[in-house]
Amino acid sequence: MRLFVVDAFTDSAFRGNPAGVVLLDTPAEAAWMQAVAAELRHSETAFVVTAEEPKPLRWFTPETEVDLCGHATLAAAHVLGGEQAFGTRSGVLHCRAEDGRVAMDFPADPPTPVAEDVAAALPGATVEHVLRGGTDLLAVLRDGGEVRALRPDLDAVAGLGARCLIVTAPGDRAGIDVVSRVFAPAVGIPEDPVTGSAHCTLAPYWARRLGRDALTAEQASARGGIVHLRLDGERVTLSGGAVTVVDGTLRV
């Protein structure tokens, strides 16, 4: 089987979010895919059945299968090239080449305010609002500097009862509308470098707050990455660059 490692949401190798991509002729057993993902240790590995249309696509963290993953979808579309339609747990996802990037049509996940106390998870942070999307919590801080300097209590984050905790603030650098970081220890990812699915929640929140449907977002992890957002009703277009760093053969 062909195996790739692709750095997603970046134009430079060793930046953005690395994802494994395994191309399959026929569907594979979930236990085997989980074992491969645990071996690769990327935040997600994508498994694509290339002989069907739309192409079945599943994503696994080192510990569990997930319902939606942006960066590994971008990685798979980058490997396959052209226009692609993937059949997933979150419906059919369409991807295409656009201005040197891969653009992905994803479902929006608008968050709603909740009375959730995240102070223990974010010591020292000024939390202005807490919201919840379909699977994730969103904590809005006062400014981007706080997001960048944040040192969360990962045990407390894991106990929040969400797939991950998205921490965000207005952009604090030229050309950046939104800054965020994403912590997901509950699914085996202490901090995710760049999280496409989290931007399905960030896009509707910030579009409403800033009064614009087109935004540029920075995920300020150690590797960092840029996600271009366009909100269109109940859908979000996420786009970004990608670089293949490994092209090999999986032999088991």
Q: What is the pLDDT of residues 102-153, one digit of tens each?
A: 999 999 999 999 999 999 999 999 999 999 999 999 999 999 999 999 999 9
The CATH number of the domain holding residue 23 is: 3.10.310.10
- C-alpha to C-alpha distance for 105 and 101, rounded to whole angstroms: 13
The single-letter code of the amino acid at 1 is M
**Same domain flag for 171 and 91:** no
CB 144 within 8 A of CB 132: no
**Same domain flag for 126 and 155:** yes
**Same domain flag for 33 and 121:** no
pLDDT confidence of residue 98? 81
**Same domain flag for 178 and 76:** no
**Same domain flag for 160 and 218:** yes
Give catalytic status of residue 63 as yes or no: no
Q: Dump strand ranges (E) for 70-170.
A: 84-88, 91-98, 101-107, 112-113, 127-132, 137-141, 165-170
**Same domain flag for 163 and 131:** yes
pLDDT confidence of residue 118? 97
**Same domain flag for 204 and 125:** yes
**Same domain flag for 139 and 196:** yes
Look at residue 2 and tell me whether its pLDDT is greater than 90. yes
Q: What is the pLDDT of residues 32-82, one digit of tens each?
A: 999 999 999 999 999 999 999 999 999 999 999 999 999 999 999 999 999
Peptide bond into 54 cis (omega under 30): yes
Q: What is the pLDDT of residues 184-211, one digit of tens each?
A: 999 989 999 999 999 999 999 999 999 9
Rg (CA), the chain: 17
Q: What is the pLDDT of residues 92-106, one digit of tens each?
A: 999 998 888 999 999
| Residues 139, 60, 7: CA angle, nearest 5 degrees | 75
Domain containing residue 71: 2-105+240-249
Among residues 44, 116, 146, 218, which one is catalytic? 44
- Taking the chain, what is the end-to-end CA distance rounded to the nearest angstrom? 9
Q: Which two tokens stand for residue 214?
A: 């087109």
Pairing label, strands 65-66, 242-249: unpaired
pLDDT confidence of residue 94? 97
Helix (H) / strand (E) containing 228: strand 225-232
- C-alpha to C-alpha distance for 20 and 60, rounded to whole angstroms: 10
pTM of the model: 0.92
- C-alpha to C-alpha distance for 118 and 20, rounded to whole angstroms: 32
The single-letter code of the amino acid at 162 is A
**Same domain flag for 73 and 121:** no
**Same domain flag for 12 and 58:** yes
Residues in contact with 16: Cβ distance below 8 Å, sequence separation at least 6, in sequence order? 7, 8, 9, 10, 71, 193, 194, 223, 224, 225, 240, 241, 242, 243
- C-alpha to C-alpha distance for 249 and 252, rounded to whole angstroms: 9
**Same domain flag for 75 and 139:** no
Q: Which two tokens stand for residue 229?
A: 């957002």
**Same domain flag for 128 and 229:** yes
pLDDT confidence of residue 145? 96
Number of domains in the chain: 2
| Residues 101, 110, 238: CA angle, nearest 5 degrees | 0
pLDDT confidence of residue 99? 81
pLDDT confidence of residue 100? 83
Q: Report DSSP state, residue 185.
A: G
Helix, strand, or coil here: 51?
A: coil
